[in-house]
Structure 1
Amino acid sequence: MKQILLNLIFALSFVSLVSAQGYTTPDTGVSYSLDDLVTASPSTISVSGTTYTLIDDLIISATDTFLIDTDVTLEIGADVRITIFGTFNVSATNTVFTALDTNAPYEGFRFEEFSIINIQNSTIQYGGGLRVLTETFTINNCTIINNVSGISTGSVISLSRGMPQITNNTITFNETPAISSGATNDVSPYIFNNYIEGNNQANSNRPQINMGTTMTTEPIQIIQNTIIGNRNLTQVGGIAISNLLGGVVDAIIDDNIVKDNRYGIALLGDDISALVRNNVIEDNNSQGSPNLGGSGISLNASSEGMDVVATGNEIRGNLWGITLQGESSVNLGDNVDNIGENVFSQNGNGGVTYALYNNTDNAFMAMHNCWDEENVPNSIADAEAVIVHQNDISSLGLVTFDPVNCGFLSVDESLINQLVIYPNPSEGQFNLDNNNLFKQMNVYSINGQLIMKKPLKIGPNEMNLDLSSGIYILELEGEQAKAIKKLVIN
């Protein structure tokens, strides 16, 4: 009897162990739908109508595919993990991944190196985030909300390598930051047209987008996102890119709205090259302490060589406009490659306006900017009053800011808004209609390289550009106006 009892205990323990292991697909090159998984392992996943329930870990092996191409809801049990070694393809129009009990989050998704991940049109909520170890990752038109620290601890989307594509998503109110990479991971994501708000609910000292070093062959691209802070989260910044442990950083930060965070954009460390262009950076002062943050743009390096170009940014209502520390440097406008045209307004603290504070011994150019939007036109004295540099403290570097320029603000915005470019995307042939202002079009690659110049006439223009597929920046110039448009070539 004693032996029978021992055998029974062993058998029950074995069944419990098997159950705890969940289900692993057999690695035979098969594509699995949710219904296929229900058939293969009904103890792991069940179905009622279009709602599926996963109560144990699921592993998709290296040669297998997990495919969701119909609208479903997948409820996931507490602490359950989905691991993908193979392919994960979600292509339906409305897929929901959620916790079986919203008070008991699932552990999240782990996408192993060499897996192939494509997630479209999904809601991902009440889980532990997405740990992205693969080079091949796309997430598009998804809502990522109310997730906690789980399989991914650094952010709700944690990146490790390659050029992941993060486009057209809504990423809001997660416990951790929105997007991050490790300090020693060389990763160059394309982060485009996402709405990001109120992330890092834990209020740790991290920004909503927190990136480390990049690949040597490709820049990180943070383009056309809206990044809104929660003013009660006083430790949370907007965008930070850091190089603190070696490697390089190459970044394009273009056409974003960054508002209501502790700070706007921070570039920290050595060997950083960045183009910071056409961003609206406003009211990043939630912490309220000028000794601890509050810059619209903050630069800091321990050695010389930082190569940052800032042009066309609108920097308003921060505790500081732009600050430089250590051995950092910036080009804010010259007579060669950078037209300047940064706009500053009401940045300051302690009753003093600080558009630019050069707290380094490096000299740099800052021509053709509007230093006080509330006092147009600016004089040299107006600019000097809001810039801290060698003229104020002899040990600091000299900022060359003459000439100042607020003329580009005087054009009727409605005339610029009337300009229409179509089709866009195109094959290189497109129309530029309702041109009432511009005489020249400069075409730049996404990393800021001037490719060509084309004359424009007032009225309609038919353009035929020989360009490779990709995203291009069109800089339209007139006598008293400038506009920036994006062109996508298929």
Structure 2
Amino acid sequence: MKQKLLNLLFVIGNVVGLTAQAYITPNTGLTYTLDDLVAASPSTISVSGTTYTLTDNLTISASDIFSIDTEATLEIGADVRITIFGNMTVNASNFTFTAIDSNAPYEGFRFEEFSVIDIQNSTIEYGGGLRVLTETFTINNCLVSNNVSGISTGAVISLSRGMAQITNNTISFNDTPAISSGATNMVSAYIFNNYIEGNNQENSNRPQINIGTTLASEPLQIVQNTIIGDRSLDMVGGIAVSNFVGGTINAIVDNNIIRDNRYGLTILGNNAFAFIRNNVIEDNDTQGIPLQGGSGISLNTSSVGLEVVASGNEIRRNLWGITVIGEATINLGDDVDNVGQNVFDDNGNGGITYALYNNTSNALTAMHNCWDETNTPNTLADAEAVIVHANDDNSLGLVTFDPVDCAFLSVEDLVFNNLKIYPNPNNGKLNVENNSTYKQMHIYGIAGKLITTESIQFGTSEMHINLKTGIYILEFEGDNTKEIKKLVVE
């Protein structure tokens, strides 16, 4: 009887082993579609209609290609990993990577060094993130949402080297930050036109974009992104670029909207240079503890060598406007190369307004800026009242802010922040209030695809919109300006 039981267990074990096993492509230079993989290893991957199911680890070998060019869904089992040593190309008009059970995430994607990765038009959800060890990585027009800490722990997209291209994506509500690189890695990614919201749901002390050192010869570029925090999270910042390991920071941070985070943008460490231009940095105060954060822009280094040039930024309603700490320096405007034209309004804490806090012994130039947007034109006394420097404490460096200037503000600039939409959430009827600037409203899905464009009137108007339940991005457009808002439809 005992022997029969052992034989039965042996047979059951063999059957289980046949139902799910890892598959490694044979490294013979072939291209594999999903259907090819089903034929090659039906115990690993199966298909029903346009839904494929992967039940064990899949590895694409160094000389092989994994190609997806048709609309479909790949459901992936709990703790299953996809590893790419060769090439992976996803260029279908719409493709979804998801878990078989959203409560049992798959482990994620590991893209090995020297692999070539190009992912387009995809939804990546309920997995363990993308561990990017290769220099050749593109992800474009994708929705990356509701992923957990798995194969990638630093962020849902974790970079290790090179110049990754991360463009036109929506990265939202993942347990980990959106994009990161290791402290000792040199990464000069191109992060362009992404909508990034509510990442780091674990609420760890990390920002949504968290980059270490960069290539010296090529700048990190964080351009034209919208980075919105979840106000229920009190530890999550907007953007941080840090050098703690003797490397280099070479960065361009331009034309971003950064709102509702613990802090807006911080650069830390020496041997660093950055342009910070034309960003809207507002309401980054979720923690509410001034000695622990809340700056629109914060620069901090303990040794000489952090230099920033900033112009055209709009910095409003943070606990601090700009804080400069240790040996850091910033040029906010001069009479040679930098036009200034930074706008400050209502940054402060404890009942005191702090547009610029020079907590260093370095002299700073900050000419041609508008220091109080609400009360224009500014006087030198208005500027002095919101700047902390040598005139307040002789151990601090002097800030040269003469001349002050709000003349560059147009009527559109002054009313930019008054636009309101309500109710939100919404059930189909939308009111637009205080519109003196915008002529059109573009409605985008959360994955970044344009759904419709509506003409809008100046003043207050009522609109009826026919949208399914979900989250949408509204882009209001005028002749010379744009504004982004989020709409929830119930």
- TM-score tier, shorter chain, comes to 0.7 to 0.9
Deviation of the 1:364 alpha carbon: 1.2
User: Residues 44-443 of structure 1: matches in 2 within 5 Å?
Assistant: 44-410=44-410
| 8 Å contact kept, 2:364–2:398 | yes
Partner Cα distance (1:337, 1:484) in 2:
24
Distance in 2 between the 1:334 and 1:304 partners? 21
Seen in structure 2, the aligned counterparts of structure 1 residues 6 and 417 have a Cα distance that, compared at 3 Å, is: closer
The AA in structure 1 aligned to 2:167 is: T
- Residue 89 of structure 1 aligns to a residue whose secondary structure is strand
Task: Give per-residue Cα distances to partners, 1:286-331, cap 9 Å, x unaligned.
Answer: 0011011000000001111212001000000000000011111100
The residue type equivalent to 2:59 in the other structure is I
What letter matches 1:123 in structure 2?
T
Q: How many angstroms apart in 2 are the aligned matches of 1:337 and 1:257?
A: 25
Aligned to 1:22: 22
Instruction: Give, in whole Å, the separation in 1 of the partners of 2:15 and 2:138.
Output: 38
Cα offset, 1:410, TM superposition = 3.8
Q: Deviations over 1:103-126 (max 9, x none)?
A: 000000000000000000000000
Question: What is the SS of the residue equivalent to 1:407?
Answer: coil
1:223–1:92 Cα change, 3 Å? same
**Corresponding residue SS for 1:227:** strand
Q: Would the alpha carbon gap of residues 80 and 278 (structure 1) be closer, same or farther in structure 2, given more than 3 Å must change?
A: same
C-alpha distance in structure 1 between counterparts of 2:213 and 2:22, whole Å: 36
Deviations 1:146-201 (A, max 9, x none): 00000000000000001000000000000000000000000100000000000000
Structure 1 letter corresponding to 2:325: Q
> For residue 321 of structure 1, what is the amino acid of its counterpart?
G
Flag the 1:50–1:7 CA change in 2: closer, same or farther, 3 A: same
Q: 1:6–1:105: structure 2 CA closer, same or farther, 3 Å change rule?
A: same
Question: By how many angstroms is 1:137 displaced?
Answer: 0.3
1:231-273 per-position Cα deviation (integer Å, ceiling 9, x unaligned):
0000000000000111000000000000000000000111110
Amino acid at match of 1:132: V
Other structure's SS at 2:291 match: coil
RMSD, matched Cα: 2.3
Contact persistence 2:365–2:401 (CA under 8 A)? yes
Distance 1:114 1:410 in 2: 50
Matching residue's letter, 2:199: N
The offset of 1:6, in angstroms, is: 7.9
Q: 1:239 to 1:289 in 2, by over 3 A?
A: same
Equivalent pair of 2:95/2:122 in contact (CA under 8 Å) = yes
8 Å CA contact retained: 1:278, 1:312? yes
**CA spacing shift, 1:69–1:376, aligned 2, 3 Å:** same
2:142 alignment partner AA: C
- In the TM superposition, residue 79 of structure 1 has moved relative to its aligned partner by 0.2
Residue of structure 2 equivalent to 1:456: none
AA of the residue aligned to 2:266: A
Distance in 1 (CA, whole Å) between partners of 2:224 and 2:410 is 25
In 2, Cα distance between equivalents of 1:386 and 1:92 = 53
- Structure 2 counterpart SS, 1:372: coil
Question: Shift of residue 333 of structure 1?
Answer: 0.5
CA distance in 2 between counterparts of 1:94 and 1:282 reads: 34
Residues in 2 aligned to 1:146 and 1:15: alpha-carbon distance in whole angstroms = 34
Separation in 1, partners of 2:337, 2:303? 24
* Contact 1:19–1:56 (CA under 8 A) maintained in structure 2: no
Structure-2 separation of matches of 1:33 and 1:233? 41
Aligned partner of 1:473 in structure 2 is none
Q: In 1, distance between residues paired with 2:375 and 2:272?
A: 34
Q: Is the 8 A contact 2:20 2:43 kept in 1?
A: no
Identity level (%): 72
- 1:9 CA drift (Å): 7.2
User: In structure 2, what is the Cα distance between the partners aligned to 1:170 and 1:134?
Assistant: 22
Letter in 2 for 1:255: N
- How far apart are residue 398 of structure 1 and its match? 0.5
| d(CA) in 1 for partners of 2:235, 2:180 | 16
The residue number in structure 2 matching 1:43 is 43
**How far off its partner does 1:11 sit?**
8.4
**1:240 aligned counterpart, secondary structure:** strand
What is the rounded CA distance, in whole Å, between the counterparts of 2:234 and 2:2 in structure 1? 63
Distance 1:18 1:342 in 2: 65
CA distance in 1, matches of 2:274, 2:156: 25
Note the C-alpha offset of 1:4. 10
Q: Number of residue pairs matched?
A: 421
TM-score (norm 2): 0.82
